[in-house]
Structure 1
Amino acid sequence: MKVIAGKVFRTSIRSLAVLGLVTGISPSLAETYLSPVSDFNADLLREVPVFESSVINGEMPPVAKRVPENPYIVKQSQNWKAGKYGGSIRSLIAKSKDVRLFSVYGYARLIGYTPDLGFTTDILDKIDIEEGRIFTMTLRKGHRWSDGHPFTSADFKYFWEDVANDSNLRPFGPPAELLVDGEMPKVEIIDEVTVRYSWSVPNPFFLPSLAATRPLYLFQPAHYMKQFHAKYVDTDVLQERVTKAGARNWVQLHNRKARQYKFTNPKLPTLQPWVNSVKPPSTRFVGKRNPYYHRVDELGHQLPYANEFILSVAGGGLIPAKVGSGDSDLQSRGLNFSDYTFLKGNDDQNGYSVRLWKTVRGSQFALYPNLNAQDSEWRKLNRDKRFRHALSLATNRYELNQVLYYGLGLEGNNTVLPSSSLYKEEYFKKWAEFDLKKANMLLDEIGLTDRDEDGLRLLSDGRPMKIIIETAGESSEETDILELIADSWLKVGVKLYPKPSQREVLRNRIFSGETNMSLWYGNLNGLLSPHSSPAELVPRQQQSFQWPKWGQYVETKGNAGEEVDIIQAQELNNLYVLWFRAQTTAEKKDIWERILEINSEETYTIGLVAGIPQPVALSNKLMNVPEDGFYNWEPGALLGVYKPDGFWFEE
């Protein structure tokens, strides 16, 4: 048994295999265990200035009664200094649904990633892991929700018994992330601060799911949520609440109220550093500091340092201009590399600086032919690898790199990057050269030889080959990419039409098969190791836009979607199962190599350019923001892994 508490942990290679995080660490380092944080001296605690009057008036307990007995202690380092209280961190969002960034940037998790992608306990005081399959979680004594109510194992019990296993709220059962080789966990509520999740086999996904940008929530604030649950409320009273809220039934009402990640219910207690005080829809969301937040610095300051975190809706296209005018104190979302020159031209006069962080996606953007498209003609074409190869060969990645990214990117497929231990040049370069002659030959070979008067190839049903590529329309970068690709595709008789829409609309159209092809971000993580999950490269997730219905079929245990019906994709699913059961690094690496071989040969997604620097603009007065960082949604939570609750203003 290994006990991990309060700091990054390292464990044996065998255990790291279970956690899915081996990235070439040496055996000696892998056997090193960092010491737990010593008991905290509560005498060091200092009252937060904005709460002083409330404490004096008896409206709020003093800070020593608001933080856990053993809070999470953020230690000073070369790049992180204890700071000062005060101020509001302003940031811009494209639309009101991005209020969820309070959860992303706050990044308070049971277990979280560190900037070097190790794990650290956070909300949890410690976690004991046995054989990679038994996870005993200990909460921090005295930890409270943002409304002051105790956060205990009762909140885990409520989620498991009254939400996850309630057939009304979860018709398909508990979250699919908890399913391991067909087995659901055994959940035990040991005492007020101890919860155990266990399986009969190792679960390599449990900790990464808890540390995710959109985490697996194992708890809900029971004291608040019970008022919306049929098990705990009189039928007439509950119906009155349903009617008042304009909900369809109590299930819809409960689900609306429980959105911890989406942050749309200001009354929902939270464990994040800032509590949203504004109900959507709105153009300005104000996150007020959480009086009961569990992190403190070594000098006894309860975090966050900033009194407020403000998210203002600006619209995606206006964000760079507003940042350039000094309207944001911390901005990465809504900025692209193409904005860098403009931002640098205005930084001195408007009191901000711009840093370039590295990105680790498999491709900045990629094209996703929908193998589950409703249109039978396009479905047939998308499923023919010769068609996918032809479009890839007809894409001038060199031009994209030079025109949009000043030649700083890496031109190739949507796969592992050169820094990955699994990298092979063939994975990155196969079918990725610019070769119009070969592209034309492949399209002819498919039988697309007839053309209309404009030179466009004709589908077998006589329609001209006009591909509508749908995007979220969130940046000019997407439009620029498609305009450049359209020029070269036209040379092989294929007309491209971009179609922007809102993100949720786009996703729903993809999931239903209404889109034939889409442009979306590439794989989340291009720095994979033998022990990294292959889920993005096998048909197991609805969020994989190349095969959404196959993924939905797996996620709903066959209750929705479509069963995989292509041999190579079936092999990928089989390889995933073999990877999951493999016991050694060598076995997992062999399986990974076959997965990457299939993906490179089949070109299920068409990668473009990777490794594009991400601008991060910040006020010159904002401290503790890293000079150099990595920027990624998963893992990383964008800025969240760097703990913005520790950012502070110099004045």
Structure 2
Amino acid sequence: MSLVPAGAGFVRRTAHLAAALVLAGLAALPARALEYRETPGLADRVGVDLPPVAMRLPEEPLVVDLPAKGRETGRQGGEINTLIGRSKDVRLINVWGYARLVGYDKDLNLKPDLLKAFESENDRVFTLRLRKGHKWSDGAPFTSEDIRFWYEDVASNPSLQPSGLPQFMLAGGKPPRFEVVDETTVRFSWDEPNPLFKPELAKSRPPFIYRPAHYLKQYHERYGDMDKIMRLAEAKKLRNWAALFNKMDDMYDARNPDLPTLQPWVRLVDDSERRFVLKRNPFYHRVDSTGQQLPYIDRVIMTVADGKIIPAKTQAGEVDLQARNIGFSDITILKQGEKAGRFKTYLWPISKGSQISLLPNLTVKDPVWRSLMRDVRFRHALSLGIDREMINKVLYLGFGTPANDTVLPMSPLFRPEYRDLNAGYDPDRANELLDAMGLTERRGDGVRLLSDGRPLEIIVEASGESQEELDALELVAETWREIGVKLFPKPSQRDIIRERALAGTLVMAVWSGFENGIPTSEMPPEDFAPVRSDFLSWSAWGNWYETGGQTGEKPDWEPAERLTELYDAWLVSGSDEERTEIWHEMLQIHAEETIHIGLVSEVRQPVVVQDLGNVPEVGIYGWDPGAQFGIHRMDEFYVK
């Protein structure tokens, strides 16, 4: 088996064969309701290294009726230029493209995408039906074998996955029964419900439970020539076949241009670390209702620039679409460029639970601080001592919403009390709560004294990556002084902060709020329970959960214990009604306990658009769910 990369060469060989069959009259075009229109940018290649569009599409492509969605039917061609702050951000093309087995629509409903159908029996048995005739970007068939290969030869191979199957593939701690039903149908079956499975497939960074088996088998010990594999591994200075396989198996990072993909744009050459050209996938599975194959855009060009100058370059009109590396503080300079007629600046609400959140460490080791942090009166006092309206006006020109760190009104789980409870500015009430705790002694400058005589001075550690966070801390410090609390901001680094949180030496951190502020009950509530060690409010508890009690601390605080119970109950839940009830109890606990101290939510993300159609003026901007541009279907954007 050849180890020569199978990218562009394989495209030419496979597509040329298909084209030759069509031209020779040996392959008939299947009957379709739509009359497909050849893509102008690919027309010269048809009959040379590509078959006609009808042979490139699945027998039943995903047909998008854009006018019914309130969008325009676009035209094919053109390019989108955008800037990225580092070369590894080229992987965003696989986020923004958002071709998923199932994906979220704008109403946060999960719909089949790459799949023709997705069938669930009580969240225990999942049947996945592919589109007959669907092809990878190199023209090879996308079939059940690609899912079987991932499950049996990649995910279940201890050399490639030493930690075993990922959590979303386990139910009750057990793996599924897997079966290939036919060429386009597979089935995963568990004895217990597995509500994690379906939403995992729709993430901005999905697990890709399929692999281009025809390409990757040449690097696998079970299928490839081991002598050739080891020679190539040695040439790449890799220790064994598994390391080589994992390097070539690059579904997310877009670093292997020879790896076939199902995304709308594909990287075909590896000739630069400063400018990346992503070209349209000729075999993409989506078409519009007029028969035009998506994506409309021929090329996406991602150019690396210093993040500090990206706002200025954007203002100068050097991009067609930009949201990365620009923020609310750049709106003034962007509006100046907008006046010159270069572009439009849309302001999309950010989908985080809070733009900025203060995170008291409930597992801090210092006994005095631990007692304070776990006293609900203390957390309420700190929250009531913040003038969120002032912060909103000073930092966000009043465009945000003073609020707790919780779900947003866009979420079907939203209730006003989750947002508003103990989130008003009431320094008198805050002082009463602190007095009731016995913190009545003060030093000469008005700062309260702790029970051991130390001043109530809170060091709030920041990653040092956001001036916005430091500016917010200054405003919080002003009003905390009125309640006898001194705040010291301490810029640091995110890795150091996480280490200190896990070690119990962190007292409080400033961070962005919950990543997903627009959940549905179908999405796992892992952010709201102490089940991950990288959450700064309870790293030690999260570490205990992750390691099965081998390290960290077992939760010994009643709300944390209950949140863990609820999360575990969600993992085995079998209905939407049950999951909704679990979510609401968890959100109620967070609101009543003020575990995170959110400041302002629904802050706007500037989205700069130059001469592009179908980019929504009002959208949501988030990672999961959302994939930034992905949920708005960037493959439907077009050059006006």
Same fold (TM over 0.5): yes
The one-letter code matched in structure 2 to 1:76 is: L
Structure 1 residues 65 and 409, CA, compared in 2 at 3 Å: closer, same or farther? same
Is the deviation greater in 78-87 or in 157-166? Answer: 78-87
In the alignment, the residues of structure 2 paired with residue 43 and residue 408 of structure 1 have an alpha-carbon distance, to the nearest angstrom, of 45
Select which of 149, 153, 157 maps to 2:148: 157
Q: Deviations over 1:612-646 (max 9, x none)?
A: 23322101x21111232222322222211121112
Give the superposition deviation at 1:107.
0.3
Distance (Å, rounded) in 1 between the aligned partners of 2:74 and 2:226: 51
Q: Does 1:467 align with 2:455?
A: no
Q: Deviations over 1:201-246 (max 9, x none)?
A: 3333322211122223211222333343343445554343333323
2:404–2:423 CA contact under 8 A, matched in 1:
yes
Contact 1:325-1:350 at 8 Å conserved across structures: no
Distance in 2 between residues matched to 1:107 and 1:216, nearest whole Å: 13
Aligned residue identity for 1:170: Q
**Change over 3 Å in CA distance of 1:159–1:550 after alignment to 2:** farther
> How far off its partner does 1:137 sit?
0.9
Distance in 1 separating the partners of 2:207 and 2:504:
27
| Distance change (3 Å), C-alpha of 1:382 and 1:271 | farther
Task: Please point out which of 121, 138, 156 is paired with 1:147.
Answer: 138
TM-score by length of 2: 0.84
Residue correspondence of structure 1 range 69-88 to structure 2 within 5 A: 69-77=59-67, 79-88=70-79
Q: Which deviates more from structure 2 when the two are superposed, residues 94-103 or residues 153-162?
A: 94-103
Contact in 2 for aligned 1:317/1:476 (Cα 8 Å): no
Of the structure 1 ranges 420-429 and 291-300, higher mean CA displacement relative to structure 2 is found in 420-429
Residues 604-615 of structure 1: matches in 2 within 5 Å?
Answer: 604-615=595-606
- In the other structure, the counterpart of 2:630 is 640
Structure 1 stretch 86-95 or stretch 244-253: which is displaced more? 244-253
**Does the 8 Å CA contact 2:39/2:293 hold for their aligned counterparts?**
yes
User: Residue 486 of structure 2 corresponds to which residue in structure 1?
Assistant: 494
What letter is aligned with 2:399? L
Match in the other structure for 2:124: 133
Match of 1:115 in 2: 106
Counterpart mapping for 1:205-354 below 5 A: 205-233=196-224, 235-277=226-268, 279=270, 282-354=273-345
Residues 470, 517 of structure 1: 8 Å contact kept: no
Call closer, same or farther: CA 1:584–1:303 in 2, change over 3 Å.
Answer: closer
Tell me, in whole angstroms, the C-alpha distance in 2 between the residues paired with 1:255 and 1:441: 59
Corresponding residue number in structure 1 for 2:592: 601
Shift of residue 160, structure 1, vs aligned partner: 0.9
**CA distance change for structure 1 residues 529 and 288 in 2, over 3 Å: closer, same or farther?**
closer
Q: Secondary structure at the match of 1:267?
A: coil
Q: Any conservation in 1 of the 2:441–2:448 contact (CA below 8 Å)?
A: no
1:436-485 C-alpha deviation (Å, 9 max, x unpaired): 45556666747696869996867969698351422361x54333223322
Q: 1:460 to 1:165 in 2, by over 3 A?
A: farther
**Identity %, equivalent residues:** 43
Q: How far apart, CA to CA, are the structure 2 residues paired with 1:421 and 1:272?
A: 30
The separation in 2 between residues aligned to 1:438 and 1:608, in whole angstroms, is 18
Are the counterparts in 2 of residues 337 and 615 from structure 1 also a CA contact under 8 Å?
yes
Deviation of the 1:148 alpha carbon? 2.4
CA–CA separation in structure 1 for the residues paired with 2:274 and 2:336: 28
Cα pair distance change 1:194/1:472, threshold 3 Å: farther
Question: Within 1, Cα distance between the matches of 2:348 and 2:270?
Answer: 33
1:231 to 1:238, Cα distance in 2 relative to 1, 3 A: same
Cα contact 2:462–2:470 (8 A) shared by 1 = no
CA–CA separation in structure 2 for the residues paired with 1:301 and 1:393 = 56
Asked if 2 retains the 8 angstrom alpha-carbon contact of 1:467 and 1:496, the reply is: yes
Amino acid at match of 2:39: V
Q: Deviations over 1:146-187 (max 9, x none)?
A: 222222212211211122222232232211122234333222
Match of 2:473 in 1: 482
Q: CA deviation at 1:410?
A: 2.0
Which residue identity lines up with residue 53 of structure 1 in the other structure? D
Deviation at 1:553, TM superposition (A): 4.5
| 1:523 paired to 2:510 | no
Moved more, 607-616 or 378-387: 378-387
Q: CA deviation at 1:555?
A: 4.6
Partner amino acid, structure 2, of 1:301 = Q
Give the counterpart letter for 1:187 in structure 2: F
State the alpha-carbon separation in 2 of the partners of residues 631 and 403 from structure 1: 22
Does residue 182 of structure 2 align to residue 169 of structure 1? no
SS at 1:262 equivalent: coil
Structure 1 residues 587, 382: CA separation in 2 closer, same or farther (over 3 Å shift)? same
**8 Å CA contact retained: 1:83, 1:648:** yes
- In 1: Cα distance, 2:431 partner to 2:473 partner: 20
Contact 1:540 1:573 in 2 (8 A): yes
How far did residue 516 of structure 1 move?
4.7
CA gap of 1:348–1:42, structure 2 versus 1, over 3 A, is farther
Tell me how far 1:331 sits from its aligned partner: 1.7
Q: Which residue of 1 aligns with 2:618?
A: 628
545-554 or 158-167, larger mean C-alpha shift? 545-554
Give the greater-gyration-radius structure (CA).
2
Residues 75 and 529 from structure 1, CA distance in 2 versus in 1: closer, same or farther, beyond 3 angstroms?
Answer: closer
Distance 1:509 1:273, change over 3 A: farther
Secondary structure at the aligned position of 1:161 is classed as: helix
Size of the alignment, in residue pairs? Answer: 608
Check if 1:203 corresponds to 2:162: no
Alpha-carbon distance between aligned partners in 2 of 1:317 and 1:457, rounded to the nearest angstrom: 42
Shift of residue 108 of structure 1?
Answer: 0.2
Distance 1:409 1:623 in 2: 27
Residue 288 of structure 1 and its aligned partner are, at CA, apart by 1.6
Matches within 5 A, 1:381-530: 382-418=373-409, 422-436=413-427, 439=430, 445=437, 465=457, 467-471=459-463, 473=465, 475-490=466-481, 492-499=484-491, 501=493, 516-528=507-519
CA distance in 2, matches of 1:281, 1:388: 51
1:456/1:495 contact within 8 Å kept = no
Residue of structure 1 equivalent to 2:19: none
The answer on whether the counterparts of 1:448 and 1:460 sit within 8 Å (CA) in structure 2 is: no
- For 2:550 and 2:257, locate their aligned partners in 1 and report how far apart those are by CA, in whole Å: 34
After TM superposition, give the deviation of residue 111 of structure 1 in Å. 0.7
Q: Which amino acid aligns with 2:631?
A: V
- In structure 2, C-alpha distance between the alignment counterparts of 1:299 and 1:145, rounded to whole Å: 23
For the 8 Å contact 1:366–1:519, the answer to whether it is kept is: yes
Q: Residue 185 of structure 1 is aligned with which of 176, 194, 204? A: 176
Distance between the aligned counterparts of 1:329 and 1:637, measured in 2? 19
